[in-house]
Amino acid sequence: MKKLTTALLGLLILFSSSCRLIKPSKDMGYDFVATLFNGKVEADGMHYLIKNLDGTIYNSNVVLVDGGPSVDSVLGEKIFVFYWANEAYGFFCKKPQKGKPLQILVGDEWKLLNHTESVRVDSTVKFFQRYMYSPKIEKGQESRLVNVYLVPREDPSQQFEIRQDSSEIKHFFIREIRGEWMKLQLCIDYSSYFTHYVGEIGLESWEEISQRSSTYPTYWIRWRQGTKLLTPLSDFYDKYAYW
Q: Mean pLDDT throughout 235-243?
A: 75
135 and 191 fall within a common domain: yes
Q: How confident is the model at residue 133 (pLDDT cuts 50, 70, 90)?
A: very high
* 204 within some domain: yes
Give 192's DSSP letter.
G
Last residue of a domain, one of 124, 151, 180: 124
Q: What are phi and psi of 218, to 5 degrees?
A: -115, 150
Q: pLDDT tens-digit profile of 15-60?
A: 344 344 333 345 567 899 998 876 655 556 678 889 999 999 998 7
55 vs 37: CA distance, rounded Å: 23
114 and 44 fall within a common domain: yes
Question: pTM value?
Answer: 0.78
Contact 184, 221 (CB under 8 A): yes
104 and 136 fall within a common domain: no
When divided into structural domains, the chain yields a total of: 2
195 and 158 fall within a common domain: yes
86 and 112 fall within a common domain: yes
Quick one: pLDDT at residue 16? 42
Last residue of a domain, one of 94, 124, 154: 124
119 and 137 fall within a common domain: no
Cα atoms in the 13 Å half-sphere on the side-chain side of 24 = 4
154 vs 82: CA distance, rounded Å: 26
139 and 163 fall within a common domain: yes
Last residue of a domain, one of 124, 144, 171: 124
134 and 233 fall within a common domain: yes
154 and 120 fall within a common domain: no
Q: Long-range pairs for 49-56 at CB < 8 Å and ≥24 separation?
A: 49/113, 49/114, 50/104, 50/106, 50/111, 50/112, 50/113, 51/101, 51/111, 51/112, 51/113, 52/111, 52/112, 53/103, 53/110, 53/111, 53/112, 55/112
**Residue 108, domain extent:** 32-124
Pairing assessment for the beta strands 68-70 and 89-93 based on DSSP bridges:
unpaired
